[in-house]
Amino acid sequence: MSGMLSWGIRSRAGRVTGELGRRWWAQGPAAGARPSALRAQVDKFGGVTVHLQQTDSTAHLDEVTFGAMLKDSLTQWKAEGRAAVWLHVPILQSRFIPAAASQGFRFHHAEKDSSTLTLWLGDGNSRLPMYATHQVGVAGAVLDETNGQVLVVQDRNKTQNAWKFPGGLSDPGEDIGDTAVREVLEETGIHSEFKSLLSIRQQHNHPGAFGNSDMYIICRLKPLSFNISFCNQECLKCEWMDLGELAKTKEATLITSRIANLLLYGYREGFDKIDLAARTFPAVYSGLFYKLYHRKLPETYENMPNLE
């Protein structure tokens, strides 16, 4: 058995076996033959994934028929020793959710136009990973090294108009440095270049993250332009401020003051003492890459084989 389920059980030769499956493929859906199992893909962890939006025939099923198909499928998957089921339901087929819930499925997460339900089939408690519960905010500390001035803003929508670094939420699939550069440009009109990562703040039960956890990352950026044209909808003020002044003023957020002191130390003593630089490496997943942030290594260690 190949492990791929498609309106019945497929053999290694790709033929559909079972009387119900033969009737389905010979007569077609119009003839009224109901397939015995949902189409599913087997993952590398031993589970199966069902995308209802990829199964056009289910779009015309009623809830009772879908529930019967799902029950047949679960019997088959359990017999095959599958560990879990991931059921992706498009919003226009949400009528199938009660049938899935009655058979033990629970919500895992929802996106714009689909929801994902899961059911653990293995022994013991579920070992399925939880959905990501963090939002990632990124700010850019744009420092002009020629005069020691840094770019700061005051948010228009905050109750306390304190100086801070421009920034915002990272988009899915967007690198940290790219987020910082984009947000600085959108808020201030300043073009910049990513140089390093400076700090990471972790905060839980964040009201702005719907009660989930929040990661706030500040990057050091190099300015490529200097004429400010800030967004009036987001910013009340925007200016270049002396780094020493920012480190001392009481009109800055606590984290801004802390990073201003860190920048001042790097500006005076060398950025190699504060920078977490980014390196790109190939991931274990074919064709994918990741970025690793860390302090710069001495050449003798940088060129050592099998460093990872």
CA distances from 37 to 68, 134, 212 (A): 9, 36, 37
User: Are 242 and 303 within one domain?
Assistant: no
Q: What is the predicted pLDDT for the residue at 285?
A: 86
State residue 34's pLDDT score.
Answer: 52
Q: CA nearest 89: which of 81, 98, 79?
A: 98
How would residue 110 be classed by pLDDT, with cut points 50, 70 and 90?
very high
Least confident piece of the model among 15-19, 69-73, 256-260: 15-19
- The DSSP code sequence of 188-252 is H---EEEEEEEEEEEESS-GGGTTSEEEEEEEEEEES-------TTTEEEEEEEEHHHHHH-SSB
Rounded distance between C-alpha atoms, residue 218 and residue 165, angstroms: 8
Residues 75-81 have a mean pLDDT of: 94
- Indicate whether 250 and 238 sit together in one domain: yes
Residue 249 falls within a domain, yes or no? yes
Question: Do 230 and 105 share a structural domain?
Answer: no
Same-domain pairing of 172 and 144: yes
Number of H helices, E strands in the chain: 7, 15
Which residues are CB-contacts of 152 (< 8 A; sequence separation ≥ 6)? 163, 164, 165, 166, 238, 239, 240, 241, 246, 252, 256
Residue 31 has pLDDT above 50, yes or no: no
Please measure the distance between the N-terminal and C-terminal CA atoms of the chain and give it in whole angstroms. Answer: 39
Name residues whose C-beta falls within 8 Å of residue 235's C-beta, 6 or more positions apart in sequence: 153, 154, 155, 156, 166, 187, 188
Average pLDDT over residues 59-77: 91
Question: CATH number for the domain including 211?
Answer: 3.90.79.10
Residue 200 lies in a domain: yes
Angle at 244 between CA 255 and CA 136, to 5 degrees: 25
Q: What is the pLDDT of residues 176-231, one digit of tens each?
A: 999 999 999 999 999 999 999 999 999 998 887 778 888 999 999 999 999 999 99
The angle subtended at Cα 51 by Cα 170 and Cα 287, nearest 5°, is 50
User: In terms of domains, do 76 and 187 share one?
Assistant: no
Look up residue 130 and give its DSSP letter. P
Do 111 and 149 belong together in one domain? Answer: no
Residue 297's pLDDT is: 85
Mean confidence (pLDDT) of the chain? 85
Same domain, 162 and 240: yes
Q: Alpha-carbon distance 300 to 249, whole Å?
A: 42
Which tens digit of pLDDT belongs to each residue from 262-286? 999 999 999 999 999 999 999 998 8
Q: Alpha-carbon distance 44 to 124, whole Å?
A: 20
Q: Classify residue 180: in a domain, yes or no.
A: yes
pLDDT band at 18; cut points 50, 70, 90 = very low
Q: Which residue has the higher pLDDT, 56 or 137?
A: 137
Listed ranges 50-54, 131-135, 257-261; the one with the highest mean pLDDT: 257-261
Structure tokens at 17: 């076996």
Residues 71 and 107 occupy one common structural domain:
yes
> Which residues span the domain enclosing 185?
134-273
Contacts of 271 (CB under 8 A, 6+ apart): 195, 196, 220
Among candidate residues 186, 234, 239, 245, the one labeled active-site is 186
The C-alpha atoms of residue 82 and residue 91 are separated, in whole angstroms, by 26
**Residue 187 annotated among the catalytic residues of the structure:** no
CB 236 within 8 A of CB 249: no
pLDDT above 80: residue 119: yes
Does 94 fall in a domain? yes
Domain count of the chain? 3
The domain that holds 295 is classified in CATH as 4.10.80
